């Protein structure tokens, strides 16, 4: 009898210990503002301590370090102060019932070991492809890094025109993947099926590419593109007189920089490229998004004034060792002292990053004026990140030269410049309702077919 009781107690004890095993990948879906994002916490135990990383696969963010993680008395607590993220939940059976906290917002989010299905992305091509595709690595000697990408060609045999796809801001893989969408994969598939080779690669420090993303500026990314051009010129399948650049968002800033540095770029395509200074872009973004969210005009003007003041201070005090302290005081004063220390710190780190410091001061018109090769610029009229009208006009006007003959005659410095505003498309060239970034994940379409046709037809006319 005693042995039976002891066996039963040991069995119950083992069940308790088993039920307390928190290790593994825990999956949840964060639902906020009509947006659904998959979140994954990967937890492991080493000796007596827990360690974790967080994934946000729909945003293309994998392996985000978790600063603190604890599991006591069935309660899991996770904190990522740099992103103002906290999660707390109660482990019950095979689920964790909890809440996701970020920047003052609390959203219920339960976790389980079962991965949730990703969003539907019907345009993503499925292997085997009807064309040749090869994963490659190439060297950027200037940056002392090795980059990785994919070259797709209509066929392994033959010689083809080729475009290099240049991604937008933020760490991006070769597919420019975000929220389950793979715009560059869809674009590459369409172009390759229409006789145009495509080379796309992981940003430095992302995927299989070496380097440190956080230390790079737009100029560093431009040097990576130049290395890609050099690599392609040594491939026998490439028509070296027909190498073009297709840049999305920040990639639209990079393409003219590269085209001006060398004469072997045959044409460039700017997808939601900018034509005005970086600081002006940020102010326009914030105003458009705030209006779309229903923020009143007085608050919008107050935010714009704060940002203008911050940008001016960044410009004037760039070398000041007290810069971060000055900026912190400005933000705290504007918020009435209610902004959390972590939120202020995060804003300051973003503002003073090498990339942001360059972007805010850079005026793309400087490079655009010097572009001599054919150029196509297309923007969607629902783009809230790079407003179409002001940027397309600025791009077009960059090629106007006023003759000093007394009659202010305007001549074009480049006679093959095309600017097109596409109705109903957002920053990703999806057919959209509001244009808000929160809508990107909810739209099944990755890349509007009409945009794909415009890009393809324009390129084909210049490489035939």
Average of pLDDT values for 279-302? 93
Output DSSP code: residue 425.
B
pLDDT at residue 454, rounded to an integer = 99
Positions of E strands within 327-390: 375-380
Evaluate if residue 431 carries a pLDDT over 60. Answer: yes
CA–CA dist 222, 362 (Å, integer)? 14
Evaluate if residue 4 carries a pLDDT over 70. Answer: no
How many CB atoms are located within 10 Å of the residue 371 CB? 23
Average pLDDT of the chain, as a whole number: 91
Average of pLDDT values for 338-363? 89
pLDDT-derived band at 60 (thresholds 50, 70, 90) equals low
Q: Domain 132-276+363-463 is of which CATH architecture?
A: 3-Layer(aba) Sandwich (3.40)
CA–CA dist 361, 343 (Å, integer)? 24
Instruction: Yes or no: say if 42 and 51 are a contact pair by the CB < 8 Å rule.
Output: no
pLDDT, tens digit, for every residue of 279-290? Answer: 999 999 999 999
Tell me the β-bridge partners of 49: 46
User: Which of the listed CATH numbers 3.40.1190.20, 1.10.443.10, 3.20.20.80, 2.40.128.120 matches domain 22-112?
Assistant: 2.40.128.120
Percent of the chain whose predicted confidence (pLDDT) is above 70: 94
How many CB atoms are located within 10 Å of the residue 376 CB? 23
Evaluate if residue 8 carries a pLDDT over 80. Answer: no
Average of pLDDT values for 84-99? 94
pLDDT at residue 7, rounded to an integer = 43
In three state form, how does the secondary structure of 8-29 look?
A: HHHHHHHHHHHHCCCCEEEEEE
pLDDT at residue 346, rounded to an integer = 85
pLDDT, tens digit, for every residue of 445-461? Answer: 999 999 999 999 999 99
Instruction: Yes or no: say if 269 and 376 are a contact pair by the CB < 8 Å rule.
Output: yes
pLDDT-derived band at 195 (thresholds 50, 70, 90) equals very high
Instruction: Yes or no: say if 163 and 199 are a contact pair by the CB < 8 Å rule.
Output: yes
Helix (H) or strand (E) holding 224: helix 218-232
Least confident stretch, 8-12, 184-188, 407-411: 8-12
pLDDT-derived band at 345 (thresholds 50, 70, 90) equals confident
Average of pLDDT values for 233-253? 98
Instruction: Yes or no: say if 36 and 30 are a contact pair by the CB < 8 Å rule.
Output: yes
The span from the first CA to the last CA of the chain, in angstroms, equals: 91
- The backbone region for 180, taken as left when phi is positive above 0, alpha when psi lies in -120 to 50, beta otherwise, is left
pLDDT-derived band at 82 (thresholds 50, 70, 90) equals confident
Average of pLDDT values for 85-100? 95
pLDDT, tens digit, for every residue of 111-155? Answer: 999 887 778 899 999 999 999 999 999 999 999 999 999 999 999
pLDDT at residue 37, rounded to an integer = 85
Task: Give this prediction's pTM.
Answer: 0.83
pLDDT-derived band at 31 (thresholds 50, 70, 90) equals confident
Contacts 24+ apart (CB under 8 A), 80-85: 80/54, 81/342, 82/342, 82/346, 82/349, 83/346, 84/340, 84/342, 84/343, 84/346, 85/54
pLDDT at residue 3, rounded to an integer = 46
Average of pLDDT values for 57-62? 77
């Amino acid at each position: 009898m005693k042995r039976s009781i002891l066996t039963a107690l040991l069995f119950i004890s083992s069940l308790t210990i088993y039920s307390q095993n928190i290790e593994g990948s825990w999956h949840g879906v964060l639902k906020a503002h009509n947006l659904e994002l998959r979140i994954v916490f990967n937890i492991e135990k080493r000796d007596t301590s827990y360690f974790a990383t967080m994934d946000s696969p729909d945003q293309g963010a994998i392996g985000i370090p978790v600063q603190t993680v604890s599991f006591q008395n069935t309660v899991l607590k996770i904190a990522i102060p740099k992103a103002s993220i906290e999660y707390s939940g109660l482990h019950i059976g095979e689920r964790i019932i909890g809440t996701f906290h970020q920047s003052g917002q609390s959203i219920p989010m339960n976790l389980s070991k079962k991965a949730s299905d990703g969003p539907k992305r019907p345009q993503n091509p499925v292997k085997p492809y009807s064309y040749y595709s090869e994963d490659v690595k190439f060297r950027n000697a200037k940056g002392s890094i090795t980059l990785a990408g994919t070259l797709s060609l209509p066929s392994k045999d033959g010689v083809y025109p080729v475009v290099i796809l240049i991604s937008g801001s933020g760490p991006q893989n070769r597919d420019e993947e975000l929220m389950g969408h793979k715009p560059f994969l869809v674009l590459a598939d369409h172009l390759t099926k229409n006789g145009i080779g495509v080379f796309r690669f992981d940003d430095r420090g992302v995927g299989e590419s070496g380097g440190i993303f956080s230390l790079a500026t737009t100029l560093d990314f431009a040097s990576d593109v130049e290395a890609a051009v050099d690599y392609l010129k040594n491939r026998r399948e490439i028509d070296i007189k027909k190498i073009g650049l297709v840049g999305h968002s920040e990639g639209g800033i990079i393409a003219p920089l590269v085209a001006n540095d060398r004469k072997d770029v045959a044409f460039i395509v700017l997808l939601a490229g900018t034509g005005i200074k970086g600081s002006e872009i940020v102010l326009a973004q914030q105003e458009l998004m705030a209006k779309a969210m229903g923020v009143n005009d007085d608050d919008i003007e107050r935010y714009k004034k704060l940002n203008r003041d911050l940008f001016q201070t960044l410009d004037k005090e760039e070398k000041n060792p007290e810069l971060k302290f000055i900026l912190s005081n400005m933000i705290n004063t504007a918020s009435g002292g209610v902004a959390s220390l972590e939120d202020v710190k995060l804003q300051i780190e973003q503002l003073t990053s090498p990339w942001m410091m360059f972007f805010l001061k850079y005026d793309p018109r400087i490079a655009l004026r010097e572009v001599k090769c054919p150029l196509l610029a297309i923007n969607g009229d629902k783009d809230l990140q790079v407003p179409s009208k002001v940027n397309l006009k600025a791009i077009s006007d960059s090629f106007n030269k006023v003759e000093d003959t007394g009659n202010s005659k305007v001549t074009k410095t480049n006679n093959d410049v095309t600017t097109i505003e596409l109705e109903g498309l957002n920053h990703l060239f999806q057919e959209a309702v509001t244009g808000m970034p929160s809508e990107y994940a909810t739209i099944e379409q990755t890349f509007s077919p009409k945009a794909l046709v415009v890009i393809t037809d324009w390129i084909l006319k210049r490489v035939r």
